Amino acid sequence: MPGSGSEALRGRRALIVEDEYLIAFDLARTLEDLGVGVVGPARSVADALALIATEAKIDAAVLDINLGGEKAYPIADALLTRRVPFVFVTGYDSWIIPAAYAGAPRCEKPVDVRVLARLLFNER
């Protein structure tokens, strides 16, 4: 889909947190095709927190909730502190997400990347 990215996405940088390689790198390539710069992908809470602490520019983040047994909520907390908007990408139903994050947008797997990109960058 090269060239299909809108101007709104160009130059934006998105952190991808996803433990499944195939999904993570497919999402990275698809976002890059839309003109988005990718931070990561990160496969664990620790990796993601390290990127959040060191990357100067993160405009938005995509969070898989279940990271090989860990829950992604500490990452969500760090992003909230940095005022970085994020979208949960998950196979879980919404009832399993703690109330503290109920306001965050959520995309169900399998994801429509264009919908995801809109949620990430256009809703603010």
Q: Which is nearer to another protein, 24 or 60 (CB)?
A: 24
Angle at 10 between CA 21 and CA 115, to 5 degrees: 60
Task: Tell me the sheet residues that pair with 88.
Answer: 63, 106
Is the CB of 82 or the CB of 109 nearer to another protein? 109
CA distance linking residue 39 with residue 53, whole number of Å: 12
For the bound state, the minimum distance from the C-beta of residue 45 to another protein, rounded and expressed in Å, comes to 13
- CA quadruple 117, 47, 77, 96: dihedral positive or negative? positive
Please report how close the Cβ of residue 90 comes to another protein at its closest, in angstroms: 7
- Smallest gap, in angstroms, from Cβ of residue 83 to another protein? 28
Under the rule (CB under 8 A), what is the footprint of another protein? 19-27, 29-30, 41, 43, 66, 68-70, 90-93, 96, 108-111
